[in-house]
Amino acid sequence: MTRFLTLLFVLASVSPASAQFVATNFSQEAMTLDLDSAATKRLASIEDFVAEKQWDAVATLLRQTQSDKADKLVAISPGWYVSVARFCQSQAALLPMPGLIAYRRQTDATSKKWLDDIQDQRGLDPSRQRAAWLRIVRHGFASSSADEAIVRLAEQSFERADYAAARTYWELLLPASGSLRSAAGLGLLRHPDPSCDAAQIRAQLILCSLFEKDLERVAQELAAFRRLHGNSAGRIAGREGMLVDLLSSMIADQLADTSQATETYSLDRQVWTVELPSRSLAGVGEMIPIIVGETLFVSNGESVIALDATSGRPRWLEPADSAPDPRASVIYSLADPIAPKLPIDGRARHSLSANGNRLYARLGTSITGKAKQETNSHSELVGLDVGIGEGKLVWRIAAKEIDPQDPLSVASPWCFEGAPAVDSQRVLVVLRRSLPQEQLNVACFDAETARLLWNRKVGITVASTEEAVNTTSHLELAAAEDSVFVSTDAGAIAALDAHDGAIRWVRTYVSDAVLSPGEGRRDGHTPPIYHDGVLYVAPLDTNLLMAIHAESGLLLWQHQWPDSIRYVLGVARNTLVVQGRSLWGVALATGEPAWPNRRVGNEDPEGFSSGRGALIQDDVWWPNRDELIIVAAGSGQITRRIVVRELLELSGGHLTAFGASLAISRGAQLTVLRSDR
């Protein structure tokens, strides 16, 4: 079942009679959010004006509330919050025609000017065009100009091969299946009267599925299209005619192109093994390599290391050196490493991110939760040119220098979490500080200059700071649909606008670590996984596994998982693959175990996971102590075992797949396997 069908099922299951404009009763939260009771009361009062059909007053209240309280949050239902700006937009889109006309009298002129300004600036940079279209959609969704801006966003996303984002924008122009006045529907956005033809939009959605090579979904959507729009003509992919015929022809062409067999890899030949320079600050931790071109990069938290991916030699070393010192692989190091004064609770993790020829790393002590008595803590973010610059430092940001005007910056400086999410223009990263209470922010920097563009608070946890023990964590963002998503591992999951940092929605849940003394967060690395418009999240402070509609924050399903999930590996064959002590396949539509035998692994400790697995095409490569076990993602069947301890004298480790190769990291040792074929 597809994401679209799942969403329809959820909407249909909620009774419209249960609707309220704003939810006012909700349970205790593990994270303190930016709620505003005055905004909630003002929004609730709109209901009276609607009942009395005082449309000018309704329009004025919606517009003023959005302007005055845009960044505050209101609760739609227990555990589901949206920004006041988003709530006002959804309410404006729900107004009956007399109310919509009154609303547009106050807002259309501004939205049309924004749209005209974009069209007048020919040759405008595509990213600036996108930001301008998003401005209209975010601030004037119910206006007469918003549908054109939405179409532009969808078309540009499709041209970028971001088919999931294109689908999300196209769907904003279609009516929802269920009532938008229901508890679930209040958080959804649907344009009230798009000028676009519904048949044309649904044809574009089929095209998205076709280019994603999801042929099962294509067949379902085409069958529905025949029933709804079998006689509709239009233009798609540069061709004109009956839309059903055009789509059928394109599907036939795609089937012919994908008929070739998929190449398989054995990945059982050891190519090279390198002992990396060990980290001096506090243990090695878990190092997660990244590949850029023919170079493998890895960080130990103190240095960034570059190796030739085919040979394991230091990347930019003169060929004459036949026995290079491993330290020659270091391309950047902290100028003055600072060892922590107090112990650190938790496993350090070191990851990297890249865009084009730019590499980004978070370096410094692995402390993210600073003890009250800790005095030695430092983290920084660096951008390196790994193209013609051969690892040259482009810029450096020290976390403690982000907001020097903040009166708390000396006593409780910020620290960076994991590697940033990056594109050609933005570097986005999670920030944390511990005093007076633990606070989480997301910050955005200019990719070229490192200038701070915005820094937004997500929330403050109710956890108290330890006196004499530091903690470490490794929160990373997922970026999609012009938003960034963060799972805080502290009772909340949030979506922020990637362009200005405005919080779009927050989803909360009961946190075992924050609200249950002594529970603590489990070891693992589970940033949100975005796939086809849905976020899949397994926070480390609970055993919940959740699927959340990325655009709205609507909870599609959640389950208490029987195995403590440590890694969410990704999606293959309509199956979400998660890993704890064992390996599990999860049905995307329902969240139930998807494999007949439920899991791979057993209760014998020798059969437990021994490092993070990897997805390679439609297979899961899963390490235990002695073997690499290859599992078909769709069925959960074991198709092959590689006894690495016996054949290669290796033990299990963390896996990173690249091309026809597989990297295994164990402590400071890094090994690369490759296929002979």
417: buried, middle or exposed (CB in 10 Å: 19+, 13-18, 0-12)?
Answer: buried
Fold of the domain built from segment(s) 285-476:
Thrombin, subunit H (2.40.10)
404 vs 635, higher pLDDT: 635
pLDDT of residue 473: 92
Q: State the Cα angle at 125 between 120 and 126, rounded to 5°.
A: 100
227-248 CB burial, b ≥16 within 10 A, e <16: eebeebebebeeeeeebbebbe
pLDDT of residue 88: 92
d(CA 648, CA 646): 6
Count Cβ atoms below 10 Å from residue 160 Cβ, excluding itself: 12
Average pLDDT over residues 487-501: 96
Percent with pLDDT over 70 in the chain: 88
Token duo for residue 57: 């007053």
Average pLDDT over residues 28-34: 82
Closest CA to 560 of 541, 538, 544, 572: 544
DSSP H or E stretch at residue 227 = helix 215-229
Closest CA to 382 of 366, 397, 404, 403: 397
pLDDT of residue 601: 86
**Above 80 in pLDDT, residue 272?**
yes
Closest CA to 89 of 186, 24, 176, 184: 186
**Above 70 in pLDDT, residue 470?**
yes
Average pLDDT over residues 553-576: 94
**425-453 tens-digit pLDDT:** 999 999 999 877 889 999 999 999 999 99
pLDDT of residue 6: 40
382 neighbors 363 (Cβ within 8 angstroms)? yes
CA distances from 381 to 14, 357, 629 (A): 45, 16, 36
Q: Which of 363-377, 586-600, 645-659: highest mean pLDDT?
A: 586-600
Report the length, in residues, of the chain.
Answer: 677
d(CA 43, CA 73): 12
**Above 60 in pLDDT, residue 53?**
yes
* 191 confidence band (pLDDT: 50, 70, 90): very high
Which phi and psi angles does 292 have, rounded to 5°? -125, 110
**Amino acid letter for position 643:** V
Residue 52 bridge partners (DSSP): none
* 564 confidence band (pLDDT: 50, 70, 90): very high
**Above 80 in pLDDT, residue 27?**
no
pLDDT of residue 568: 97
pLDDT of residue 330: 93
CA distances from 657 to 27, 434, 564, 600, 663 (A): 43, 36, 24, 20, 6
pLDDT of residue 260: 54
Lowest mean pLDDT among 323-327, 357-361, 549-553: 323-327
**65-117 tens-digit pLDDT:** 998 888 899 998 899 999 999 999 999 999 999 999 999 999 999 999 999 98
Percent with pLDDT over 90 in the chain: 60
Average pLDDT over residues 28-51: 85
pLDDT of residue 626: 86
Q: Count the helix, strand and coil residues of the chain and give each as a percent rounded to the nearest 5.
A: 25, 30, 45
Token duo for residue 194: 């798009």
Q: To the nearest whole number, what is the mean pLDDT of the chain?
A: 87
pLDDT of residue 18: 30
Count Cβ atoms below 10 Å from residue 315 Cβ, excluding itself: 20
* 354 confidence band (pLDDT: 50, 70, 90): very high
**633-666 tens-digit pLDDT:** 999 999 999 888 877 777 788 999 988 899 999 8
pLDDT of residue 71: 85
**Above 80 in pLDDT, residue 632?**
yes
Q: Which of 5-9, 117-121, 461-465, 574-578: highest mean pLDDT?
A: 574-578
Domain ranges of the chain: 285-476
Token duo for residue 185: 């529907």
pLDDT of residue 413: 84
**Above 70 in pLDDT, residue 25?**
no
**207-240 tens-digit pLDDT:** 999 999 888 899 999 999 999 999 999 998 888 9
Residue 457 bridge partners (DSSP): 441
SS (H, E, C) 559-626: EECCCCCCEEEEEECCEEEEECCCEEEEECCCCCECCCCCEECCCCHHHCCCCCCEEECCEEEEECCC
Lowest mean pLDDT among 172-176, 255-259, 664-668: 255-259
**Above 60 in pLDDT, residue 13?**
no
Cite the DSSP H helix spans in 266-378: none
d(CA 458, CA 190): 26
Residue 234 bridge partners (DSSP): 241
Average pLDDT over residues 160-168: 96
List CB contacts of 280: < 8 A, sequence separation 6 or more: 302, 337, 339
616 neighbors 657 (Cβ within 8 angstroms)? yes
The dihedral built from the CA positions of residue 69, 70, 72 and 76, taken in this order, carries a sign that is positive
Token duo for residue 489: 């591992």
Q: Residue 299 in 3-state DSSP?
A: strand
CA distances from 398 to 115, 394, 449 (A): 39, 14, 14
